[in-house]
Structure 1
Amino acid sequence: MSRILGIDYGIKRCGLAVTDPMQLIVSGLDTIFTNDLKDFVLAYNTTENLHKIVLGKPVHKDGTDTFLMLEIEKFSEWVLQMLPNVQIDFVDERNTSVAAKAAILESGVKKKDRRNKALVDKVSAVIILQRYLGHY
């Protein structure tokens, strides 16, 4: 089997998470600038042979898409053109930031480090991928 990449897509940064090759375990991978995401995905696919990319779908409380969904759809179309063997799926990302902050707090991370937005983005990507796999 091959890996699944989870992305918490943001205006400035994207949190990244990945499964193991058997798609059982999810690990936080990195947080990168959104401008670097396409290059990262191309490079990562050459070394890890991605099977699928799961993107967090930002929606309002009533279920309607946020403004960011347009950018995410453009990115997903780019992936399908550049990497035709990689599938794209979306997961409702409501409350992932809240859940990520709670998980970071419970893990005992120092207060200074809990304010690190990059860490929250990475943990949010883990939660998105766990939701997709049915672990969360």
Structure 2
Amino acid sequence: MSDLPRGARLGVDVGKARIGLAGSDPDGLIATPVETVARVLDVPTASGGAAVATSDVARIAAEVDERFAAVVYVGLPRHLSGNEGAATADARDFAGRLARAVAPVPVHLVDERMTTVTAHAQLRAAGKRTAKHRPVIDQAAAVIILQQALDVERVSGDRAGEHVDVA
């Protein structure tokens, strides 16, 4: 049995237009879809140069509070080779802003290679037409991100991924 504190976990799939959210039960056994949040790309900065919390970050922070979440897992989109690109930098930036908004709840970045492809395949297998995927694909990808993190927790007894420092 792990020494991790009990509490729900949130999974976040950051996209350019939408953000998928998934949540777990307090024991971290199973991930389920929560909602899709509209992404805010124009991030204003305060007079000191720090990014201001946007409505998307605020909505996720509210979900963290409502669920008494113990940790938030944000998907880190790497290339299949493992290299990082523009989407990775975007996810890192978003995770940093989210970490500041939800502190002291920890935020971890977890590898999300192939989650959207897997989510599409699962939706097709469930009989959903591709045209109907758009509203739920981000949630489905967030479920996969979170379930993989929960599986790592169970096996390792520790949080999955890379901890995001609150700067």
TM-score range (shorter-chain normalised) is 0.7 to 0.9
Give distance in 2, aligned partners of 1:123 and 1:64: 24
Task: Please tell me the residue identity of whatever aligns with 1:106.
Answer: A
Task: Please tell me the residue identity of whatever aligns with 1:31.
Answer: T
Unaligned runs of 5+ in 2: 1-5, 41-54, 153-167
What TM-score, normalized by structure 1, do the two folds share? 0.87
- Residues 1:21 and 2:38 are matched in the alignment: no
Distance 1:111-1:69 versus aligned 2 partners, 3 A rule: closer
Match of 1:68 in 2: 87
Decide whether the 8 Å contact of 1:51 with 1:85 is kept in 2. no
State the Cα distance separating 1:109 from its structure 2 match.
2.2
SS of 1:98 mapped into structure 2: helix
In terms of fraction of residues, the more strand-rich structure is 1
Runs of 4+ with deviation above 6 angstroms: none
Identity score, percent: 28
Decide whether the 8 Å contact of 1:79 with 1:86 is kept in 2. no
- Residues 1:38 and 2:57 are matched in the alignment: yes
In terms of fraction of residues, the more helix-rich structure is 1
SS of 1:121 mapped into structure 2: helix
State the Cα distance separating 1:60 from its structure 2 match.
0.9
The partner residue of 1:129 within 146, 151, 158 is: 146
Equivalent pairs counted in the alignment come to: 133
Give distance in 1, aligned partners of 2:124 and 2:67: 31
